[in-house]
Each structure stands twice: as C-alpha cells, then as structure tokens.
Structure 1
Amino acid sequence: MNRFLSNVTSKIDAKGRVSVPSVFRSVLIQRNIQELYCFQDFVFPAISAGGPDLLDRFERQIAAEDPFSPEANEMSLLIHGGGVFIKLDSEGRMMVTDFIRDFTGIVSEVTFVGRADHFQLWHPPAFAEVQAAAREGRRLRGTRPTV
C-alpha cells in the first residue's frame, strides 16, 4: 500500500521525539521520502506532512497565478512561511518542535492521521473531537461512506 491510512497515537519521549508509526514509515520508504515537508494545515489545528512532492504540488498552484495576485501571495505565505523540512532519525523518529507544538497544542502524545498522499500530526483530543464532529455531520446528512 502506498497511501497513508488510519490513525495511530504515540507518546513523545523525554528528548521530544516521537516514532513515526511503522505503517506510515513503510509508505515513506516505498515513496523514497527521506525528508518530510511539514506545514500548518489551512483548516485544522494540525501539521500536514509529506514528501517534497507535496510542496511541489502547492508551488505549481502558486506558479499558475499572477505572482503579484493576492491568491499567490496568500498561498506562498501559508506554504513557504508556514512550512519546514524535518528529517527522521535512523530509528524513524522525528522531533516534535515548537513549530509543531505551538500550532497544534501537542504536549505529550501525537496522533498521526493518514490523509492518502500525506499524513497529519494532531493533538489527540482535538483529533477525536474533529473526527466525531465529521462523523456526526455525515450521519445527520444521511450519508455514509461506501465500503
């Protein structure tokens, strides 16, 4: 499987590192992703993480706009000004930096959430709340995902 699926909650160690779940690491290996591009999500209090192709996708969108347009400037502000590269160590751990903590509210645990071509880092209670609200919204509309 070459998609990021499911969700896993992991503890942050005393040095501020967290192990990327093995199911996500296997996708990173299959995609030959050595360094994670991470940015502050546009909608949720989460950090989105993926390979350089994720950054490339946004930069193509920016390049398609007039470089002086408000749209291009806003997108660059979010993608470049709200993004960093993070390397995994040899054991598949990443540092949970202030960049991540300040935006998400993450303290001692991280919930990794698969989003198909990338994954997100969430404060566990925030993820549970947003996921429950999404499920309830689907229920109220009478729509259920097809299996």
Structure 2
Amino acid sequence: MFRGSNDLNLDDKGRLAIPKRYRDHLKENDGGHLVLTRHPLERCLQLFPLGIWKIKEDQLNALPTWDRKASQVRRMVQGQAVDCVMDSMGRILIPPGLRSNAALEKEVTLAGQGEKFELWSRAAWEAQRAAWDEILEQAETGEVSEALKQLTL
C-alpha cells in the first residue's frame, strides 16, 4: 500500500525518481513496471503498478461501448496510458504530453493513494490541501456525501 506524500523534482529530461521506500516493493511485485495515465477527474496523473493497472484496464474494457461518456473516459485514461519501467536508479520518464496535461514542471508531489500514486504539480497539490479545509467545514455541518458518512477513521 502506498501512502504519504513526497515532494520531488523532475530532472531536465522529465524523469521522476521513485522514492526508495517504494522501489523494492515495485521491483519485487511488478518488476519495476508501472503504467502512467491521466486522472479522469483531476488535473494530475495516476501511476499504477502493472498488476493493479491490469485490473483497472479490465474494468475500463468492461464499460459499455454504446455509452458515450464511458467511451470518452476509456479514451482519456486507457488511450493516454504509457508503460514505464524503472531504470537502475529508480527513475521513470514522464512523457511531455502527460506532463502538459497535468501542468507538471520541475516541482511535483507524488501522493500515495493505496494501490496507486497520484502525481501533481506542487502548486496544484498545495491548492488541493487548501481545499481540504472546506471539506472539514462541510463535515462539521453535515454536508457530506453518503459514502463519507459511512467512513469511520
């Protein structure tokens, strides 16, 4: 499971060094093979270990082809997915098109999301953090979704 956030820098070639604490797990379970794609709802990228991606890809492929929105999501997520294999230094290349989609420049944040990571521009991640206060205020007034009402932490 991937948790926590890491402030990192892309190098001049657009490569991201995966933090050491995740590398061994990724190499042991998926041979360092990852899949990077757009997030369907946020201006960030999603980074999946290959085994998890295969499950998500099966779910995408099961979406009905006659559902226009489902087809658009499939095109956006699956159609822009790229395979990434960590090099000997634990780096992956973030292609220019995906960097542009997520407004990634040098400073980025890699956020663990359980079975995957999200990759944000540092500025966008900080804006997300600021928005969390609004969620807390909504929780205090009972204005939360049914799914969140079921969550106990």
Shared fold by TM > 0.5? yes
Scaled by the length of structure 1, the TM-score of the pair is 0.82
Aligned-pair identity in percent equals 22
Q: Secondary structure at the match of 2:12?
A: coil
SS in 1 for 2:30: coil
* Structure 1 residue 58, shift from structure 2 partner: 2.7
Query: C-alpha distance in 1, partners of 2:119/2:101?
Result: 10
Change (3 A) 1:101 1:116: same
Question: 1:105 corresponds to which residue?
Answer: 103
Count of residues in correspondence between the two structures = 145
Q: Which runs of structure 2 are paired with 1:18-29 in the superposition (5 Å)?
A: 18-29=16-27
TM-score (norm 2): 0.79
Report Cα offsets for 1:17-63 as digits up to 9, x if no partner: 22111223233134334221111001111110012233322332234
Aligned pair partner of 1:126 in 124, 127, 148? 124
SS in 2 for 1:4: coil
Alignment of 1:12 with 2:10, yes or no, is yes
CA distances 1:83-122 after superposition (whole Å, capped 9, x unpaired): 1111211110122320232011111122100000000111
List alignment gaps of at least 5 residues for structure 1: none
Change (3 A) 1:101 1:71: closer
Q: Is the 8 A contact 1:36 1:86 kept in 2?
A: yes
Change (3 A) 1:12 1:69: closer
What is the aligned partner in structure 1 of residue 138 from structure 2? 140
1:132 Cα deviation after fit: 2.2
**Cα distance in 1, alignment partners of residues 9 and 43 from structure 2:** 19
Gaps of at least 5 residues in structure 2 are: 143-147
Inter-partner Cα distance in structure 2 for 1:101 and 1:63: 25
1:108–1:77: structure 2 CA closer, same or farther, 3 Å change rule?
Answer: same
> What is the one-letter code of the residue matched to 1:38?
L
